Structure 1
Amino acid sequence: MSRLEFQSRREAGLAALYLGVFATIWFSVPAAEQPLRALLVVASGAALVTAVVGAVVVARSRGDIVRDRAADRRYLLIVLAEFAAAGLGAVLLAVVGWSEFIPVLVCAVVGLHFFPLVPVLRDPLLWLLGAALCVVALAGLITALVTAVAAGLVVGTGAGLLLLGYAVLALLRTARAR
């Protein structure tokens, strides 16, 4: 296996690990009745399995890893900004009494954070993931404003499915490359 294939495999494993974990978290956001609740539990389990497979890929990819410290710093700054924006926004929404819109804000921030990650992670598919997450956030907001359906149900389900789908796709792309 070449060094580039090794790095790519490791990065795919990390993507599956991280996004599998976050998909599991998103699937836990909606308060849903049966049968949707059961489907969300199954999806959460699938996301956890995907995260575990990602962790195995990462563990098997240990070895001579070439680090790009500048890219690592950019990645860290982007993720810290994401967490700060989501956290501060969530606190502000809670203070003004709009807690039901916290999942919408967090989903939009998560979607937006993928755009600056495209050059850092060298993955143009992150543009699509980011845009799709922003669309899910908008759909959750509109649904909550014009219907009795909670924003968290739309956003939690949509974001979970998108993150799980991307995590599985990362693993499949790596498997196909082998």
Structure 2
Amino acid sequence: MSRLEFQSRHQAGLAALYLGVFATIWFSVPAADQPLRALLVVASGAALVTAVTGAVVVARSRGAGHAGRDRAADRRYLLVVLAEFAAAGLGAAVLALAGWSEFVPVLVCAVVGLHFFPLVPVLGDPLLWPLGVAMCVVALAGLVTALASAVSAGLVVGTGAGLLLLGYAVLALVRAFRRR
């Protein structure tokens, strides 16, 4: 396996692992009645299986080749993720203090969507652009739905974000297995 193949397979495994875990978390956000609740539990299980499969890909790719770490890229990645957590945490606190806690999932989803844009050059994955746009659209849909109806923002955002992240995680696994 060449170094580039190793990095791509390893990175795809990490994407499946991380986004599978976060999809599982998003599927747990909505308070839903049956049968949607059962579907969210099944989707959460599928996301967890995807994450575990990603972890297996990562573990197997470690022994298959050697790739030196890019410290500059690691530092940029860490800064983007820290900024994401800070923005989401601070924003959630402000919304809670203002009495608008129901909109916390909307804010977090928008921040997650926005954080994918600076990660495109860091991770070298142009598919993060449409994922970021789609996450922002889901956040907007959750906001509009909550303002215009009795449907909670968390239901729209949790389901939508979970499906998007699960879809991307599965796509990452497909890409990893194609690199075998």
Same fold flag (TM > 0.5): yes
Distance 1:12 1:171 in 2: 6
How far does residue 173 in structure 1 lie from its aligned partner after superposition? 1.4
Q: 1:43: Cα distance to partner?
A: 0.2
Distance 2:67 2:48 in 1: 26
| Residue of structure 1 in register with 2:33 after alignment | 33
Structure 1 residue aligned with 2:143: 141
Letter in 2 for 1:169: L
Alignment correspondent of 1:115: 117
Return the letter of the residue paired with 2:12.
Answer: A
Task: Name the residue aligned to 1:59.
Answer: 59
TM-score normalized by the length of structure 1: 0.99
CA distance in 1, matches of 2:146, 2:46: 27
Deviation at 1:66, TM superposition (A): 1.5
Task: Output aligned runs, 1:34-113, within 5 Å.
Answer: 34-63=34-63, 64-113=66-115
Q: CA deviation at 1:61?
A: 1.0
State the identity as a percent.
Answer: 86
1:115-168: per-residue Cα shift (whole Å, max 9, x none)?
A: 000000000000000000000000000000000000000000000000000000
User: Partner of 1:131 in structure 2?
Assistant: 133
How much has 1:177 moved relative to structure 2?
3.0
**AA at the equivalent of 2:2:** S
| Distance in 2 separating the partners of 1:171 and 1:41 | 21
| Structure 1 unaligned spans of 5+ | none
Which residue is equivalent to 2:19?
19
Q: Give the SS at the match of 2:62.
A: coil
In the aligned structure 2, how far is the partner of 1:55 from the partner of 1:171? 10
Give the gaps of 5 or more residues in structure 2. none
How many Å apart are 1:65 and its aligned residue? 2.4
TM-score by length of 2: 0.98
Q: Which runs of 4+ in 1 moved over 6 A?
A: none
Q: CA RMSD for the aligned pairs? A: 0.6
Match of 2:161 in 1: 159
